């Protein structure tokens, strides 16, 4: 159980990093769009 939990925890961290990158790009894109207006 602990090994499975550790594996899921690592996957969760990777998903959080990917989500953070996507969110950063989205915020940056929105910021640029607002500046263009």
Chain centroid to CA 13 = 9
Reduced to 3 states, what is the DSSP secondary structure of residue 37? coil
Q: Is the pTM of this model over 0.85?
A: no
Give the per-residue pLDDT at 11: 83
Q: Where are the domains of the chain?
A: 1-37
Summarised one tens digit per residue, pLDDT across range 1-37 is 566 677 677 788 889 999 999 999 999 999 999 988 6
Distances (CA, A) of 8 to 16, 20, 21, 22, 35: 12, 18, 20, 21, 40
Q: What is the pLDDT of residue 13?
A: 86
């Amino acid at each position: 159980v602990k090994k499975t939990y550790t594996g899921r925890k690592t996957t969760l961290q990777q998903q959080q990093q990917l989500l953070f990158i996507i969110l950063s790009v989205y915020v940056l894109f929105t910021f640029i769009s607002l500046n263009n207006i």
